[in-house]
Structure 1
């Protein structure tokens, strides 16, 4: 542990020629402590800079420098900041830097060695909060019998948001399980009985429990009843701790209408069990169910049997220009407003594409003018992503034909809802005045060339 006196002596001996910047480890420790404190002492609301200043005695201007991790600050300041949240500053929590750095490039060298992809580490400095999504999600998981629906296009940050909820739940002693329906193969999806048994086994494994299908499965009563009994009499009754269950990629079921109708009807029944004053409602209130999907629901579900019109829905939008500007600052790019404006025009706020571009720009591997150059060649930084999107269209010829119509229609085009929702689900289109248009200039240019 490093004391304020030790660090003050070090900084004084250097005549303030050097400063320190939070390392990745230090940032993650500090943000985790802040989140836990906010949940306990601030009603679950993130601390404002003014509140942090009151708590630490550090000015808001200095706090901003600490949190942006671009400008070196006096080392005793970090000690005070950490101590305000019950932490001791360790050697690995900071990096010594010259104070005259014009950008954060030297800082990032030790923090990010490759473009970000998939789930971001908890409290990553490159994670952007998109209010009110995080606040709503973290608050709702503490509601008995909660049902939360998270919808966003592919690679829009759903997994990173879920990770925060899981971490928060685990802090409070929740049992957690995540089941991605993408893991269900064609055999599993071949019948409702097979699928529900697979689900029960997957959740049991996630909780470290042996499956007991032989004991709780009653063929005479039907698959939905057996699955419900398995959860009620076994998974939820094993412990009084709430179970936070995340069902990811449930849109996989949208193309299996009969299975989906029965399954989603069962989920709605679970939600109703927790709400009604019955003998089992207390048990079902232990379940906090999170349903994650990437497309609009186009199944003809009965309004009273659908889980998609109850509970809390959270939609993750694309980044705004202000949010991209904030990310540009974190990547050490100046002037950040210029990068933000141009990137919004190119990738339309797509979170993954924005992070990919900012990484390459910060490493000086490419400049803004080169992002749209040679767009169909392997040298383009978006090539792998674009080929993946093209591969998806080639697997679904009816969607490929629809995308062809979108890119040749300057004012947009009306599409059949099922096609529109699927294209929107993978992020290829957005809607303007109810007409489908490419979601960004990158897609417009690329697909105009490859779908001729």
Structure 2
């Protein structure tokens, strides 16, 4: 089974590790417990880890009654493998390629896929691999940046630098480094070199999630992306920047105009995430302890394809509610009682904010075959996961979306007639 620490347990552990003079991710601690440093970090984040690893970490620091450290409030309903891997299913050769690339000096990995396809989980897997090699990692979800900050490049980059130093628990020296006579990009680079990279003994992996948010703010987008590209290019000849590894995560196509020589979106390793195959869905179901065979997988995928999030929601619902059969789940999937109702409602509300986009989706769900849309509309619907490409044309990405949005749009037509 999997275990995690209680708040009181962490206080006990913290006192013992301080007594030994260990940091929270000490190499010696991980070595004595025979666990990866990434596992030790998950322990401190109160995330479930395997019982044998939990016990070894406690005993290595001097806790004998390790059962007293356990948080017994966690839900026992999922099998240990699901908790430990956070629902992640490998999609070879994606992971191997990323693991190899992140160890290269000045690496840049670009992960692009529609929403809820597992981009952030993949980045977390890459982080865990980097941490196993004693790299430092920082992830910044750019959705936290207020729109008001994104009207001023200087303010945005200062905010970015502050966030990085805070995550690494380094002194905030933004004001000391920022030179009013230098450009914002130069100041940001100077801060990164002098206050971050030069203070670390190991490479730093910087993950930028939801980069799409920046696309909507032209006041900062062009110069910010030029900055990322310059870091990657200069790493080829500048030793300090070789220790910076970048991961850029986004859902949409890059639709803002960028000079090809100044864009980070045409260099480095490009990763797209495919849908799950039937074999991967079967493997996923087995992790949930479900006695499934190919027929059940085929029935489920006929409705939702291999979409990771939709698959996971279905398997979790069946696992948690044994009375809910697959047939009942499928029959109610596009109705008000659907397990997907909140997800579908959120997509519908988002569509309703853009009359052109909702008109484009109407064309898709009323057509008998794939159709051609304007590039902008097709890219937006694809980034939402609602359509898939068939050459230069698009069609509904799965039958669930086709049925739900067709019914919703029929409702609008009925009300307006």
1:10-56 deviation digits (Å, cap 9, x = unpaired) = xxxxxxxxxxxxx2459xx9xx97989xxxxxxxxxxxxxxxxxxxx
Counterpart of 1:350 (choices 307, 328, 343) is 307
Q: Deviations over 1:205-238 (max 9, x none)?
A: 1111122121111232221111111112221111
2:287 equivalent to 1:321:
no
Tell me the SS of whatever aligns to 1:194: helix
Q: Is residue 111–residue 247 contact of structure 2 (8 Å, CA) maintained in 1? A: yes
Partner of 1:123: 85
Partner of 1:427: 385
* Aligned position for 1:337: 294
Match of 2:402 among 444, 447, 451: 444
Residues 364, 395 of structure 2: 8 Å contact kept? yes
Contact kept, 8 Å, 1:147 with 1:312, in 2: the verdict is: yes
Q: Is the 8 A contact 1:333 1:339 kept in 2?
A: no
CA drift of 1:403 comes to: 1.1
The alignment partner of 1:313 has SS state of strand
Aligned match of 1:112 in 78, 87, 107?
78
Q: Hey, what does 1:274 align to over in structure 2?
A: 235
Cα deviation code 1:305-341 (max 9, x no counterpart): 0101100111111111111121222233334211211
Cα distance in 2 for partners of 1:324, 1:385 equals 20
Partners in 1 of 2:65 and 2:279 — Cα distance? 34
Report the secondary structure of 1:219's partner residue: coil
Distance 1:418 1:121, change over 3 A: farther
Paired with 1:412 and 1:396, the residues of 2 have a C-alpha distance of 22
SS at match of 2:245: strand
2:220 aligns with 259
Calculate the TM-score normalised by the size of structure 1.
0.72
Q: Report the count of equivalent residues.
A: 353
Displacement, 1:398? 2.5
Q: 1:401: which partner in 2?
A: 359
Match of 1:156 among 108, 114, 117: 117
Structure 1 residues 241-265: Cα deviation after superposition (integer angstroms, max 9, x where no partner): 1111001000111122342111101
Mapped contact 1:122–1:163 kept (Cα < 8 A): no
Give matches, 1:205-284, under 5 Å.
205-275=166-236, 277=237, 281-284=238-241
Matched, 1:200 2:161: yes
Residues 422-444 of structure 1, C-alpha deviation per residue, up to 9 Å, x if partnerless? 21112111111321111100000
Superposition deviation, residue 139 in structure 1 = 1.5
Tell me what 2:251 maps to.
294
RMSD of aligned Cα (Å): 3.0
User: Offset at 1:171?
Assistant: 2.4
| Matching of residues 75-114 of structure 1 within 5 Å | 110-112=76-78
Unaligned runs of 5+ in 2: 5-29, 38-51, 53-59, 68-74, 411-417
* Closer, same or farther: CA 292–33 of 1 in aligned 2, 3 Å: farther
Can you give the 5+ residue segments of structure 1 that lack an aligned partner in the other structure?
Answer: 1-22, 37-78, 80-86, 94-108
CA deviation profile, 1:137-185 (whole Å, cap 9, x unmatched): 1111111110111112111112222222222222222111110001011
With normalisation by structure 2, the TM-score equals 0.78
Q: Distance in 1 between matches of 2:165 and 2:201?
A: 16
Match of 1:177 among 138, 151, 161: 138
Judged with a 3 Å threshold, the aligned counterparts in structure 2 of structure 1 residues 220 and 376 are, in CA distance, closer, same or farther, namely same
The correspondence of residues 5-84 of structure 1 with structure 2, limited to 5 A, is 23-24=1-2
